[in-house]
Amino acid sequence: MILSRRPDIERFLSKPDAGVRAALIYGRDLGVVRDRGHQLAAKVVDSPDDPFDVAILTETDVADDPPRLEGELAAQSLMGGRRMVRLRLSSEKPAIDKLAAEALERHAAGELNPDAFFLIEAGNLGRDSALRKTAEKANGAAVIPCYEDEPGDVARLVRETLARDSVSLSADALALFVARMPKERGVARQEIERLALYLGPGSNTVGTPADLEGFLGVEPEASLFDAAADAFGGKLADAQAGIRRAAQEGETGPAAVRAIGMHLGKLRRALTLHKSGAGLQEAAKASGVFWKQEREFLRQARAWTLDELDRIQSEVLAADKACKTAGSPDRLIAERLALTVAGRARRLGL
């Protein structure tokens, strides 16, 4: 059984189906995979850290002693509780992938210890993975693919984690913090815990954007995001100056092109939502626009069209490819792209 919809995943993690003996949780972001693995383990056994009822194996353990995996799955609980075997894979090695697939197939069919639970946490398994194929076909197994967190997922993680320390963020501060969060779940969680300490655990503080200024500081890439916004706003000189300032801060041409592409993506998302019936301001917020940039972004969104963005998209892709060519003058390529975008913006009346 494949669980890809969030409500189905949350239902299963909070109350695993009785007929499921195995679960495969996989995805590029191992932080999300580990989080969901911890959630499920806590529901399957009383003490996920109990070495008598829980066996935690890595791919190295399986590679060094292949029969051990099925041996652990066939073993009975020493303390009378439910047994769990937790296999953690960090890479897709064909031999380990095949061994895990064979063990999962036998266990899901009830050939080993039918009362044990087999939990597998893996990286980004491809479609040709034997383990993934086997898990998706097995009747007694659940498959949970983990995708990159959306802004809404990160916002919920921030709220829930801060709430444990009796602190929180205002709506504007939350939007700012989420926009600056690293994409990897494990690293993001560390930043949230650091913020809780900064706000004061147990203080019931509601952080504001002003409170976050000292915590977040100024990112080197901030100049690039400013330059991208200036380019789409028709501000030629400011866009060029922003890219040069970012270069002095250590940013490269590809990073500048990426920032321009990200701003284009925000405009495209906002205009698509607006076309579907959302208000423009609502669409801007849904696209991750920080409140301080909202007025300028709305000005741009009223001038740019989806057709114009499609035309400029090809310029962004060409610049990205050119920047990554060995020996290319990547900063000059990025500057030329910014000037091209700014010139198009001016023709649109910006």
Residue pLDDT, tens place only, 249-264:
677 888 889 889 989 9
Predicted local confidence at residue 118, as pLDDT: 95
Q: Which residue has the tokens 């503080």?
A: 205
Segment 291-301 mean pLDDT: 89
Task: Report which of residues 10 and 31 the model is more confident about.
Answer: 10
Give CATH 3.40.50.300 domain extents, the chain: 6-146
- Can you tell me the distance from the alpha carbon of 221 to that of 176, in angstroms, rounded to the nearest whole number? 15
Give CATH 1.20.272.10 domain extents, the chain: 222-347
Residue type, 238: D
Give CATH 1.10.8 domain extents, the chain: 151-216
In order of 109, 112, 168, 253, the CA distances from 66 in angstroms are 20, 16, 48, 48
Segment 41-59 mean pLDDT: 89
For the domain made up of 222-347, give the CATH fold.
Zinc Finger, Delta Prime; domain 3 (1.20.272)
Segment 159-180 mean pLDDT: 88
Predicted local confidence at residue 219, as pLDDT: 53
The burial of 97, by beta-carbon neighbours within 10 Å (0-12 exposed, 13-18 middle, 19 or more buried), is given as buried
Res. 347: pLDDT tops 60: yes
pLDDT above 90 as % of the chain:
46
Segment 296-321 mean pLDDT: 93
Predicted local confidence at residue 65, as pLDDT: 92
Q: Which CATH number fits domain 6-146: 3.40.50.300, 3.20.20.220, 3.40.50.1110, 3.10.20.90?
A: 3.40.50.300
For the domain made up of 151-216, give the CATH fold.
Helicase, Ruva Protein; domain 3 (1.10.8)
